[in-house]
Structure 1
Amino acid sequence: MKGNDVEPMVFGAVLLAASMHAGWNVVVKVGLDRFSSIVLLALFSALICLVLLPFFPLPAAASWPWLLASAMVHVVYKLTLVRAYEHGDLSQVYPLARGTAPLVVALVSAGFLGEAMTGAKLLSILLIGGGVCLMSLRGGAVGRMPPKAFVFALATAGCTASYTLLDGVGARLSGSASGFIILLSIFDGLFTCAYAVSRRGLRMLVQLAPAWRMGFAAGAMSLASYWIAIWAFTKAPIALVAALRETSVLFAVLFAVFFLKERVGAGRIAAAVAIAAGVILMRL
């Protein structure tokens, strides 16, 4: 592809991934206790990938350090996300956790990865990131965002930026985006389950069995969403893909309003307009 253009297929695929990412967050918010939900998600993502592993080439050895580091960051990401949801609304936590990450990714990509960024592309990233943050800081059904939810949401954003950069570089070194995401998901599942067992014992995995349908749905959406993102990292600048993924907040707010009955005021409508403007500018 040429320059910083996001081809129509990549653009549409990342938007689809954004909707699935918001979908699995809704499942985590309304399912079992948050920790159990996230463990179940990681477990089923790993199981699906174990079935798929023989059909895809393994990633190149050069990408493995990036892959293993990313898998560990993904575990921390899940834990901070769970804690954030314990203290705040979906429509509060999710936008802040996602919205600040593209700004960090854009700066690091330009400064250390040599990705050129035009004024229009930078403005689109700022509109999306700023709109996402505004949507969160306007408060939710319980009013202003609780301090603990704010802190854990920012920690989640830091993890998001970190694994996005690790995966962007790793996927490009892997020679196989599919092999990279499959192996990443397997290690992520192993690390997450190991942590869960250390906290709650082996009985926890047995107790999760009755909720396997929810786990499969969330795991499949999570895997499909990030599989698309990993592929997109090899086709477009990492910063642009990272920003476009954060349109998932629009889907998250819609889900929060229609399924979780959370309130949305004028401030969040204005934030949604800013995000939409950023997406349109990026496409143009």
Structure 2
Amino acid sequence: MTPIAPRVPESRLDWSERRHDRPPCRRVVILGAFGGDGSVDLRGFALGIAVSAALHVFYMLVLQRGYAVGNLSTVYATARGSGPLLTVIVAVAVLGERPSPIALVGIAAILVGVIGIGFVDRNGGAAQARRGVDPAIVFGLLTGAAIAAYTLWDAHALRAWHISPGARLAASAVVVAGIALLAM
């Protein structure tokens, strides 16, 4: 049988001193949400969540602006193609990761697809009359950069401060929703 929460070392919890007015399952859920063994760094958790939320808000703002100035098919495809591409580039150049040959083939395919959409998805009139870079591609690339930033940050925060992925997702969502409500 697979345990629901990670095993907590005996030295971390003294079950004989457990409060009887609180169900034991609550303690397990709380410990699981904050890293599983009660050793969460609350300052690191707060910093991780705050930066993640800010990057997600930036991502949403840039994406919405891209939708306002360009074709959905161009903005979204460029963002979703360039985000993983930029993530891998930073992971290789800065973090020293080494993708497999098949992963590199996949990255090349993404690059070709993103560039192809930039050339193919031009509607006849306005796009051809305009000189310069299509703003849909610019905002798609900015959105892709935001995707790469929050992906890399979230991976760092999870590893550095042993934050549970579920706790990070839930806390970031609450902070982002709070920011959205304040902006209304």
Tell me the TM-score range normalised by the shorter chain: 0.5 to 0.7
Kept after mapping to 1: 8 A contact 2:82/2:111: yes
Please give the alpha-carbon distance, in whole angstroms, between the structure 1 residues aligned to 2:32 and 2:65. Answer: 35
Deviation at 1:141, TM superposition (A): 5.1
Deviation at 1:140, TM superposition (A): 4.9
Q: Bigger CA drift: 153-162 or 124-133?
A: 124-133
Q: Structure 1 length normalisation: TM-score? A: 0.45
Deviation at 1:84, TM superposition (A): 0.8
Aligned to 1:108: 90
CA RMSD of aligned residues (A): 2.7
Please give the alpha-carbon distance, in whole angstroms, between the structure 2 residues aligned to 1:112 and 1:81. Answer: 26
Aligned to 1:92: 74
Please give the alpha-carbon distance, in whole angstroms, between the structure 2 residues aligned to 1:183 and 1:157. Answer: 23
Please give the alpha-carbon distance, in whole angstroms, between the structure 1 residues aligned to 2:103 and 2:166. Answer: 27
What is the 5 A alignment of 1:181-200?
A: 181-194=169-182, 196-197=183-184
Report the 3-state secondary structure (helix = DSSP H, G, I; strand = E; otherwise coil) of the residue aligned with 1:97: helix
Kept after mapping to 2: 8 A contact 1:74/1:159: yes
Distance 1:119 1:185, change over 3 A: same
Please give the alpha-carbon distance, in whole angstroms, between the structure 2 residues aligned to 1:55 and 1:135. Answer: 46
Question: Is 1:64 matched with 2:52?
Answer: no
Please give the alpha-carbon distance, in whole angstroms, between the structure 1 residues aligned to 2:96 and 2:170. Answer: 27
Q: Which one has the largest radius of gyration?
A: 2
Question: Is 1:159 matched with 2:146?
Answer: yes
Question: Is 1:135 matched with 2:117?
Answer: yes
Kept after mapping to 2: 8 A contact 1:57/1:176: yes
Please give the alpha-carbon distance, in whole angstroms, between the structure 2 residues aligned to 1:79 and 1:152. Answer: 10
Question: Is 1:176 matched with 2:164?
Answer: yes
Aligned to 1:231: none
Gaps of 5+ in 2: 1-28
Identity percentage of aligned residues: 29
Deviation at 1:71, TM superposition (A): 0.7
Please give the alpha-carbon distance, in whole angstroms, between the structure 1 residues aligned to 2:47 and 2:77. Answer: 30
Please give the alpha-carbon distance, in whole angstroms, between the structure 1 residues aligned to 2:56 and 2:80. Answer: 14
Kept after mapping to 2: 8 A contact 1:64/1:170: no
Distance 1:190 1:142, change over 3 A: farther
Question: Is 1:124 matched with 2:111?
Answer: no
Please give the alpha-carbon distance, in whole angstroms, between the structure 2 residues aligned to 1:56 and 1:163. Answer: 23
Q: Which amino acid aligns with 2:34?
A: L
Please give the alpha-carbon distance, in whole angstroms, between the structure 1 residues aligned to 2:124 and 2:45. Answer: 44
Kept after mapping to 2: 8 A contact 1:95/1:133: no
Higher normalized helix content (fraction of residues): 1
Please give the alpha-carbon distance, in whole angstroms, between the structure 1 residues aligned to 2:117 and 2:138. Answer: 16
Please give the alpha-carbon distance, in whole angstroms, between the structure 2 residues aligned to 1:187 and 1:73. Answer: 11
Kept after mapping to 2: 8 A contact 1:99/1:133: no
Deviation at 1:142, TM superposition (A): 5.9
- CA displacement, residues 150-191 of structure 1 (integer Å, 9 cap, x when unaligned): 222222111111111111222334341111111111111122
What is the 5 A alignment of 1:19-98?
A: 57-58=33-34, 60-61=40-41, 62-98=44-80
- CA displacement, residues 209-230 of structure 1 (integer Å, 9 cap, x when unaligned): xxxxxxxxxxxxxxxxxxxxxx
Distance 1:111 1:89, change over 3 A: same
Deviation at 1:105, TM superposition (A): 0.8
How many pairs were matched up?
144
